[in-house]
Structure 1
Amino acid sequence: MARMMPAYCPGGSPPGERALYAALQSGDGTDDWIVLHSLGIADHVRGVEGEADFVVIVPGRGVLVIEVKSHRTINRLADGLWKLGNDAPTARGPFQQASEAMYSIKHFLEKRGVDLRSIPMLSAVWFTQVRARTMLPSTPEWHDWQVLDLEDLRNGPVSAVLRTLAKGAKHLDDKIRYFSYGGLGPDGAMSARIASLLRPRFEIATIAGDMRRVRQAELVTFIEEQYLALDSMADNQAVLFAGPAGSGKTLLAVEAAQREVAQGSSGRLLCFNKLLSRKLSSDFGDAAGLTVGTLHQELLRISGARVPPGAGAPFWERDLPEAALEVLLDRPDLAGDFLIVDEIQDMVRDPYLDVLDLMVHGGLANGRVLLFGDFERQAIFESGDVRASLGVRIPRLSSHRLTANCRNLPRIGYQVNLFSKLRPGYRHFRRQDDGVDPTLVPYRAGADQSPLLVQAVRALRDEGYELNEIVVLSPLRNGSTAQTTPDSWLRQVLHSADGRHGRPGQLLHTTIQAFKGLEAPAVVVTDLDHRLVPGFESLMYVGMTRATDRLFAVIESGTARMIVGGKL
């Protein structure tokens, strides 16, 4: 695995950069590579400052500065200006950007005494969404070997980088006498020096926190199956993406919204879970043309209604949708160009579908509608045969099934198969097994689980997890172990989750129902007694799949015996 700097890819990075980051990070034969992502250039050869999307340092091959373009359309206008996607035309094309970034870095290193005479310093442009190598014409403005594209990303970025460095080195050897005499650099020591000069605080030694962030970066990678899913979005007006927990549905919903907005469209990204809504809103900020929130938040906004004291199901499921419906009927201008709905399995009721129908131009039957849902055991707010109801409302609804788990480590998924009786269950995992099984901690019915919770948290802390990387979940809305614990230390560190990352020293807790759609590196699920809550297997399924890396399940002894015996 290449050494990535930083050790995780920021969530706000463009999709092409995220995809290339993940591919370089996991590529074979890159153990001695060093990859710098999003390197700021304060002393730029052209502007006040600049940036290199990627700087790839390959011992014995050279240094490649890569400019990434995630646009789906690339045009060169008659007047010579570049038109990338919906961006404004510009005279400064991507190859010029890459070249200027490369020369800026080269000058910086030379000023600090780095001998680059036998080190190929090269630049290239990676078009991650188009087949640029076959579509861009030959021109004296750039070399063919400086073009990388969608096929290179899919077929293996490592070989593409090596190909570019080899051809670039040959070009330099043809132009500069004795350039490669004595061999090409940099060697291992020089690679580390270049990296430390460009990022002085770089820590080469891998620490536990870096490894977890590396695994977190894996979770937001649009793997091959998900690329195919996104491609189908462009070909179909209405699509239902169905898959079990951990198959990347929310990730795809977010990417779909970003793509729609990038094309100049406006619309809504809705979900059912309030905590998930807060996270999505935080991720998007104030994105122009996009409204993000829960279905109920949007109904309140549209209708202007206030939540009455003690509001129950009749208000949320009947009165509020009716109030919003009246406004939408009078205000067709409130409809958007697209409608994206995550957790659709929890919203398929006629009153909700009526208002969703008026939220998008053309309605559900003819509008741009992208739905994401889990029809295994995650419809914990049951609403009947949801797929049949969707088919009636959207006759032209295409379906794409996501089958691979890209969130959980395999052993967590296998435990979910057993406990939740998934059929056929998880069979394929994108992440590599790390050899650590989930931990099942039995307790006697009625006993205080606080000591067991403390033991679980301490075990996770000993493994290197910070408190704010651990989440405590319970199927109980009232009276959970986290809510009622008499343990003084737990009472001090436990904080109710609100959809945002916990602060250092905080141990977040909430219900399984509220945490649906979210995830955490480590999860401790308490109060697992099948006699305490209806729909126990569904709640087990949701709760256990929230953990990306470590899972502790504090489970009542009789419930554990029945699960293992298949009699629950």
Structure 2
Amino acid sequence: MRGGEVPSDGAQGCGRDVAPRSQPPTQRSPFRQANEQMYSIRTFLSGARMDIRHVPFASAVWFTGASANVQQNSVEWQPWQLLDRRDLRLPVSQVLASVLGRTRQHLASRNSAFDGTLQQPSGAQCREIASRLRPRFEVALGAADYRQAREQDLQHFLDEQYEALDVMEAERRVLFTGAAGTGKTFLALEAAKRASLEGLRVRFACYNRLLGRWIQRELGGFPGQEAGSLHRMMMDLAGVAPREDASESWWSEQLPLLALEALFEREDPADVLIVDEIQDLSEQAYLDVLDLMVKGGLAGGRWLMFGDFERQSIYGTADGRRALKERSPSLYERGLYRNCRNTPRIGRTAADVSGLADVYRGFRRPDDGVDVTFAPYSSPEEQERMLARVLQTFGDERFQNDEIVILAPMVEGAAFHARNPALRNRLARYGEHGKKVGYATVHAYKGLDAPAVIVTDIDAVEGERAESLLYIALSRATDRLAVLAHRDALEQMWANVTREKRP
């Protein structure tokens, strides 16, 4: 029982809090309720033709949050049937054994038919009683149960992240850097939500279109938020749409100029600027736009930026961090080093085969004992068979179609070219996949993650850019990862792993 509900008037004590919340409160005391339940169990076991004549049955009430002060004896209960928070100092097993022992003595003194010297229940009797009261059964967990457990497992802060939140409160301009899976986007979202609750207007920008849409959905219920990819924001500001044949220079040069013109005319900066994937948005043209998006600009405004300049900079310049520091000399830089996304085997494998040793200082998630699957192929047909086989395995492990993502370094990969009708009908382009298995390029999916990831079409791993792309692809998986690679590419991956770490 909860604290504050200790009856002080003997048999008249009221157990109003003992009844389930969905039922009206009862006027029966907690001792009477406990005693009735005890006799109910005894009657049930007797009806099952068990010999329990010399088995002591006891009831007690434990007020775990209060200290009981008994002023008088009660006709309803014995003093040793009343437990309070002081009894919590002892092991629970010791407290219950004491109650049973006192019960045995009490029954022997009151009932001549009860033999208190018999050491009952015996071990065999205990097992039979447990079997009768709680028969063995299999818990059938559905797909939704597994999905909920996986999602809840990921949404816990580490001490490192709590410290990062403290830094956000103390510093006006912070650059957080860390490898994939260290919680950068998670922290960025938390910062945006907190700023919204303070009544501040927030601009939250990222590079990736798919990530921008996901961030919009996550922040949909928070007022004062403008979120999405920076390119989408610039188009909205300028009131323009890209042509189908828009060149790279239109996106990286002309569009930023149009957005700057709109910002100069509007003069409508946000209170707080949050940027994810800053390593891909550190070109001078993009920094010019970001500078006008926040009150005080990059030099004096309130902003938070998150990125990985060493391992995931596949669009930005090599000196992006320097360019940002030139814009804001007083920025505070903080590193994130503990992986909170991947299982240890996935995280270590992603780093090792990509030639990135010692990326993480630890993992939040426990080791589930499941290794990364590497499936070599020599032809497109063999790769398609491997893909179908891995999908079947993931399905057997209760991963739903929309929890599985297929990533390839090119647009027209194995999923796009699937010929098997059953396989082809199970797949769809990510973002349009609904309840099917989505497929996308590694570039498009950067910044996101999925419970189960299949990486296909790894034909070669040569050079830093290819290794970075491989690392980004592999680090998207939270629980299961399969890599379909050409046999030659697998040899290149193992060459990146130190001899001591080779399987």
TM-score class, shorter-chain normalisation, is: 0.7 to 0.9
CA 1:63–1:561: 2 relative to 1, 3 Å: farther
For residue 24 of structure 2, what is the aligned residue in structure 1?
Answer: 111
For residue 356 of structure 2, what is the aligned residue in structure 1?
Answer: 422
Give the letter aligned to residue 232 of structure 1: V
Quick one: which of 167, 174, 177 aligns to 1:232? 167
Equivalent residues in 2 for 1:136-155 (5 A)?
Answer: none
SS in 1 for 2:252: helix
Kept in 2, the 8 Å contact 1:404–1:429? The answer is yes
CA distance in 2, matches of 1:312, 1:325: 19
Q: Is 1:436 aligned to 2:370, yes or no?
A: yes
Give the letter aligned to residue 435 of structure 1: G
For residue 518 of structure 1, what is the aligned residue in structure 2?
Answer: 448
Kept in 1, the 8 Å contact 2:146–2:398? The answer is no
CA distance in 2, matches of 1:401, 1:266: 26
For residue 264 of structure 2, what is the aligned residue in structure 1?
Answer: 329
Kept in 1, the 8 Å contact 2:294–2:301? The answer is yes
CA distance in 2, matches of 1:288, 1:221: 24
For residue 67 of structure 1, what is the aligned residue in structure 2?
Answer: none
* RMSD, aligned α-carbons: 3.3
Q: Is 1:312 aligned to 2:247, yes or no?
A: yes
Residues 135-167 of structure 1: CA distance to partner in whole angstroms, max 9, x if unpaired? xxxxxxxxxxxxxxxxxxxxxxxxxxxxxx977
Quote the offset at 1:357 in angstroms.
0.2
SS in 1 for 2:394: helix
Quick one: which of 435, 443, 467 aligns to 2:401? 467
CA distance in 2, matches of 1:439, 1:518: 21
SS in 2 for 1:311: coil
Question: TM-score scaled to structure 1, two decimals?
Answer: 0.66
CA 1:377–1:180: 2 relative to 1, 3 Å: farther
For residue 9 of structure 1, what is the aligned residue in structure 2?
Answer: none
CA distance in 2, matches of 1:313, 1:538: 21
Quote the offset at 1:275 in angstroms.
0.8
Gaps of 5+ in 1: 1-61, 65-102, 120-164, 188-202
SS in 1 for 2:338: coil
Residues 523-562 of structure 1: CA distance to partner in whole angstroms, max 9, x if unpaired? 1110011279982111111111111000000011011112
CA distance in 2, matches of 1:234, 1:525: 39
Kept in 2, the 8 Å contact 1:365–1:394? The answer is yes
Give the letter aligned to residue 487 of structure 1: N
For residue 182 of structure 1, what is the aligned residue in structure 2?
Answer: 81
Kept in 2, the 8 Å contact 1:237–1:368? The answer is yes
Give the structure with higher Rg (CA).
2
Compare 226-235 and 107-116 and name the one that shifted more: 107-116
Residues 328-387 of structure 1: CA distance to partner in whole angstroms, max 9, x if unpaired? 12221x201010001111000001000100000000000001001112311121322111
For residue 416 of structure 2, what is the aligned residue in structure 1?
Answer: 483
Quick one: which of 219, 232, 246 aligns to 1:297? 232
Residues 397-451 of structure 1: CA distance to partner in whole angstroms, max 9, x if unpaired? 1011110001000000111121111142223100000101000000115555111
For residue 281 of structure 2, what is the aligned residue in structure 1?
Answer: 347
Give the letter aligned to residue 386 of structure 2: L
Give the letter aligned to residue 182 of structure 1: Q
Give the letter aligned to residue 325 of structure 2: G
SS in 2 for 1:481: coil
Residues 271-320 of structure 1: CA distance to partner in whole angstroms, max 9, x if unpaired? 11111111111122253211011000110111112212301211110001
Kept in 2, the 8 Å contact 1:238–1:397? The answer is yes
Kept in 1, the 8 Å contact 2:354–2:496? The answer is no
Percent of aligned pairs with the same amino acid: 37
For residue 509 of structure 1, what is the aligned residue in structure 2?
Answer: 439
Gaps of 5+ in 2: 4-15, 33-61, 85-91, 93-136, 499-503
Q: Is 1:497 aligned to 2:427, yes or no?
A: no
Quote the offset at 1:214 in angstroms.
2.0
For residue 392 of structure 1, what is the aligned residue in structure 2?
Answer: 326
CA distance in 2, matches of 1:270, 1:373: 12
Give the letter aligned to residue 525 of structure 1: V
CA 1:167–1:483: 2 relative to 1, 3 Å: same
CA distance in 1, matches of 2:69, 2:208: 57
Kept in 2, the 8 Å contact 1:117–1:179? The answer is no
SS in 2 for 1:168: coil
For residue 258 of structure 1, what is the aligned residue in structure 2?
Answer: 193
Give the letter aligned to residue 302 of structure 1: L
SS in 1 for 2:150: helix
For residue 530 of structure 1, what is the aligned residue in structure 2?
Answer: 460
Kept in 1, the 8 Å contact 2:193–2:222? The answer is no
Q: Is 1:269 aligned to 2:204, yes or no?
A: yes
Quick one: which of 467, 485, 488 aligns to 1:555? 485
Give the letter aligned to residue 301 of structure 2: G
For residue 375 of structure 1, what is the aligned residue in structure 2?
Answer: 309
CA distance in 1, matches of 2:434, 2:78: 53
Quote the offset at 1:179 in angstroms.
11
Q: Is 1:170 aligned to 2:67, yes or no?
A: yes
Kept in 2, the 8 Å contact 1:438–1:551? The answer is yes
Kept in 2, the 8 Å contact 1:529–1:555? The answer is yes
Kept in 1, the 8 Å contact 2:282–2:324? The answer is yes
CA 1:398–1:174: 2 relative to 1, 3 Å: farther
Kept in 2, the 8 Å contact 1:445–1:557? The answer is no
CA distance in 1, matches of 2:445, 2:79: 57
CA 1:180–1:454: 2 relative to 1, 3 Å: farther
Quote the offset at 1:515 in angstroms.
0.8
Give the letter aligned to residue 516 of structure 1: K
